[in-house]
Amino acid sequence: IIKKEKENKRQYIDLLLEADPSKEMIERYLQDGDLFVLKYKDEVACVAVVIKVNENTCELKNIIVAAKYRGQGYGKKMIKYVFDNYKQKYDKMIAGTTENNIPFYVKQGFGKYEKTTKNFFIDNYNKEIWNEKMQCIDMYYYSKDLKKIKEN
């Protein structure tokens, strides 16, 4: 079950911090963004935050699957849900990611490379960020054309 959380979005900060280590950054986009919660057997399995970029574009700002539910398709389900949820309102959805997460996003449908923001993680975070054995330096943006999603 996936629901939009309108009340206490801050209750999910600890989980969101696993994907974005800056509480300040999360609080900035959480305030204006839409937070979605995927629950499995009354437990939070996945959360995602989507924000408006402009009239035609929205951005998947954060998506994280709880550790015990990783590798079971919950992230994929959440991305499909947000695509379906925003395809009426926006032309495209973008997602920014680290170098070693690009294959995940491309596989989920973010197939078009948009841009690279050099030194994003160095300029916007107080300490070094590592994803496995790779330091995160640049942010890579990919997009999904929401107008090409077939109606069910």
Q: Using pLDDT thresholds of 50, 70 and 90, give the confidence band for residue 151.
A: low
Kindly report, residue by residue over 7-22, the tens digit of the pLDDT.
899 999 999 999 998 9
**Residue keyed to tokens 């109606």:** 151
* CB neighbour list of residue 74: distance below 8 Å, 6 or more residues apart: 38, 40, 45, 46, 65
77-94 pLDDT per residue, tens = 999 999 999 999 999 999
Nearest Cα to 47, choosing from 33, 56, 139? 33
pTM for this structure?
A: 0.92
Where residue 44 falls among pLDDT bands split at 50, 70, 90?
very high
Instruction: Please tell me the predicted confidence (pLDDT) of residue 152.
Output: 47
Question: 53, 63 in Cβ contact below 8 A?
Answer: no
